[in-house]
Amino acid sequence: MKNLQSKVIIITGASSGIGEATVKLLATSGAKVVLAARREDKLRLLTDEIRGAGGEAVFQKADVTSREDMRNLAQLAMETYGRIDVLVNNAGIMPNSRLNELKVDEWDRMIDVNVKGVLYAIAAVLPIMKAQKSGHVINVSSISGHIIVPTTAVYSATKFAVRAISEGLRQEESPEFGIRSTNISPGVVKTELLNSVTSPEVIGMSDWIRSLSISPDRIAHAIAYAINEPDDTSINEMIIRPTIQS
């Protein structure tokens, strides 16, 4: 992974699941990783593990729903490594339920984390990438950003929004400023994502959903592939789903 080596890569939601797997793969491949999430203990462990293996990593406790946290995160990357090559907008939550359950607080939370969080991180890095005249934003959407089934209306709405943001960013920033935009849409992946579910109907489906799932390593590989392509090539959209997922 030659083009990936020494790149400075910010990853949100780095404390578990797809983010953790991505951090490990990128650091092993020679990237300088900047980890962010709310669970500081997990970030510290992961950072120590990477450094212990000879890799380069720093972390910051950060909530993606805070503009200030996202600004501070970009600042940490700049102060430590002097540039930002890639932002992986991965943090997300999925407390799915039917609309008629009226879990309005969970709708708010999904919109805040999955949509505003993505935008706040982009706002923090875009001026820096424009000044560099290079950069790469990778947004983790979902297969739910392509299809809607009962209980996914709000989550799907947030992930459709993520795809819109990815495509808008590509149109506005790629031709003039050389900033690449990649939208990744995973199917079912074995992570902690279902832990935020409170709807009895969705909890009842959890074992079945988990039985379909693939390893987060598969998504990490897709992210690494998109970064590793030469700078004149932009991978704009990838769907990665378990072979047995309908």
Residues at the contact surface with ligand NDP, assessed by CB under 6 A: 12-19, 37-39, 63-65, 90-94, 113, 140, 142, 186, 188-189, 191-193, 216
Q: Which is nearer to ligand NDP, 65 or 134 (CB)?
A: 65
CB 57 to ligand NDP: min, Å:
15
Of the residues 81, 120, 155, 225, only one is catalytic, namely 155
* Closer residue to ligand NDP in complex, CB, 17/55: 17
Q: Which residue, 201 or 231, has its beta carbon nearer to ligand NDP? A: 201
Nearer to ligand NDP, 39 or 133 (CB): 39
Compute the distance between CA of residue 234 and CA of residue 174 in angstroms, rounded to an integer.
9
Residues 109, 93 contacting (CB under 8 angstroms): yes
Question: 3-class secondary structure for 130-198?
Answer: HHHCCEEEEEECCHHHCCCCCCCHHHHHHHHHHHHHHHHHHHHHHHHHCEEEEEEEECCECCCHHHHCC
Q: By the 8 A CB rule, do 92 and 113 touch? A: yes
Q: How far is the CB of 213 from ligand NDP (least distance, A)?
A: 6
- The nearest distance, CB 231 to ligand NDP, in angstroms, is 25
81 is catalytic: no
For the four alpha carbons of 68, 6, 85 and 141, in that order, the dihedral sign comes to: negative
* Residue 126 contacts residue 173 (beta carbons within 8 Å): yes
The two tokens of residue 31 are 């990237």
Work out how close the CB of 246 gets to ligand NDP at its nearest, in angstroms, rounded to a whole number.
15
Catalytic residues: 155
